[in-house]
Every structure is written in structure tokens, then in C-alpha cells.
Amino acid sequence: MKHLIDIKDLTVEEIDELIKVAKDIMQFPDNYTEKCKHKKLATLFFEPSTRTRLSFETAMLDLGGNVIGFSEASSSSASKGESVSDTIRIVGGYADIIAMRHPKEGAPLVASLKSTVPIINAGDGGHNHPTQTLTDLLTISCEKNRLDNLTIGLCGDLKFGRTVHSLITAMVRYKNIKFVLISPDELKIPEYIKENILEKNNIEYIETNSLEEHIGELDILYMTRVQKERFFNEEDYVRLKDYYILDKNKLEKAREDLSILHPLPRVNEISTEVDDDPRACYFKQARNGKFIRMALILKLLNIGGNK
């Protein structure tokens, strides 16, 4: 049985296959409507979500399966003190596969050690968000028709932004990837990502405070929200939350073929005036999340694609 806790749980070949299946689902959705008949997905969300939970649930429904679950810890027996391990043992008796989000780093890994069904990490604290990364990779593949030879700007909260950590971990396995890490000093990428992932894999990267100086070099600009929920004091959050605001003016220096991604939700970091720019891909990206999650559910349940 396979779980998806960290994006490294998938080989590059497996990721490429998931992207291929997701693209086939986009093109021929009718071929997939009964693939998960009589199967159940449980979505256990101990932390808020719009895209991840609803796209997982829609993915299972579009595959002909059913969905159970909860969207906040307070409506589960976690509020009475039940452990994650016990919750997983119980839900594994009701569902065939579980997607789980938890504020504590490592909680989905703990869950996977006790689970009798596949566990998907749908985000654990400031740590990882592998299915967002699959969504990002599908989007980059659709927009650029490649996952190598890219200069990727990651901008905003690189310290707490789990989507950034997972994306870097995934992208270092492709050829000729360069990163421009754009953040305020207080929100720089953690040292363990630099040492264990970027430097260990000899990846070219620079760290900078300035989006304007580097926007013209980028193939991909991945904007992120400052993660209010991970700050220890409100004052620091208020000081940093509007550090970067991407607007039409800043985009004047960007390339015509730039792709702008954002895992969403957005707060102020992308002005709404950018939404109609052909380079803005973030709403397409959110939609892509459903297709790649359909492909992932099929893979983890060992249900063949359409070939």
C-alpha cells in the first residue's frame, strides 16, 4: 500500500504518469465517471481549506465514488481528545482512502503508520503540501509544455509557505532548474531546505528582497500569501503582509511568456487588476487541482487509467 506524505514518495516517472493521466481526464472526462464506483474517500480536515478539500471531494465524485469526512477539528472527536492515530484506525474501517490536513507537522506521517488504507497529506502545518505540488507541476506542464529548463521565482512567505517547500523538493529533480528566492529577511527559506535540498542537489539559486529587480528573468513567478496563522504575533504579520503586491506596473518588466502561479488563497499579494492578464494562471491552477487529484486517487487505489 502506498501513501503520499511527501512529494518524494513519488518518483519522477510516477509524477510524469500522474500528469499524463490528469491530462487524459481533462480531455476525456466521460471515460472516468465510473472508475471509483462503490469506493469512498474520507476528507479529514483539522485545518481550514477551500480548494484542497473541495477538489478532493469533487475528484472522487467525478470518478463515481462517494465522500465522507469533516471540515474542522471541532466537529470531530478530536475536540474530545481523540488521537490522530485512533481517528485514522476508525476512519480506515469506513473509507478506502483518506485525505488529511492537520496543523501539526508530521501528523499525516503518524497517521500513515497506523492506517490500513492509503493516506494523502493534504497539508501539514508549515511543512509539506504534496498534492498542491502535483497541481503546480500539472499547471507548469500545461503552460510551458516542459518541467525542465526553467527559472522559477518564489515570492513572499518562503519560511512558512509549505507549498514552496514541496515545490522546491519536486523541481530539483528536473534538469536545469534555477530558483530566485524573493522574500523579506524574516521570511527567508528555511536553512534545511537550502542545505538538504538546494545545495545537496547543486541547484543554482539566489536570495533577494527585490521582486522588481528579478521579475524580467523568470519563466514562472510563484506568488505566496504571508501565512498569518503561523505567526506568533500580530505585529510582525501586519508589518510583513503587504511586502509584495504584484500589480500591472511591476508586470511591465516581466516577459511576455511569464506564467504567474499562486496556490491561493490570495490576500493582497496579487492585485485583482492582474487577473485578466494572459500570464495569470492561478485560477486555471486551482481547477487543475481536481484533475491531478483524480489521477492520484486512481493510482493509490490501484485502479488503472484509461489505457
Instruction: Please identify every residue annotated as catalytic.
Output: 51-52, 80, 101, 129
Distances from the Cα of 199 to the Cαs of 21, 63, 108, 143, 202, in angstroms? 32, 41, 27, 28, 5
Grid coordinates representing 205 are 539559486
Distance in Å, CB of 163 to ligand CP, minimum:
7
Q: Is 51 one of the binding residues for ligand CP (CB under 6 A)?
A: yes
Single residue of 27, 265, 273, 306 touching ligand CP by CB under 6 A: 265
Nearer to ligand CP, 216 or 265 (CB): 265
Distance in Å, CB of 12 to ligand CP, minimum:
23
8 A C-beta contact, residue 167 and residue 133: yes
Distances from the Cα of 30 to the Cαs of 19, 58, 73, 291, 298, in angstroms? 18, 14, 35, 13, 15
Distance in Å, CB of 286 to ligand CP, minimum:
7
SS3 category, 283 = helix
Q: Is 121 one of the binding residues for ligand CP (CB under 6 A)?
A: no
Grid coordinates representing 279 are 500570464
Q: Which residues of 96-106 are buried (b: 16+ CB within 10 A; e: fewer)?
A: bbbbbbbeeee
Nearer to ligand CP, 194 or 284 (CB): 284
Nearer to ligand CP, 179 or 282 (CB): 282
Q: Would you give the binding string for ligand CP spanning residues 225-264, x where CB under 6 A is met? A: --------------------------------------xx
DSSP H or E run through 162: helix 162-171
Q: Is 52 one of the binding residues for ligand CP (CB under 6 A)?
A: yes
Which residues of this chain interact with ligand CP, rule CB under 6 A? Answer: 49-52, 123, 132, 263-265
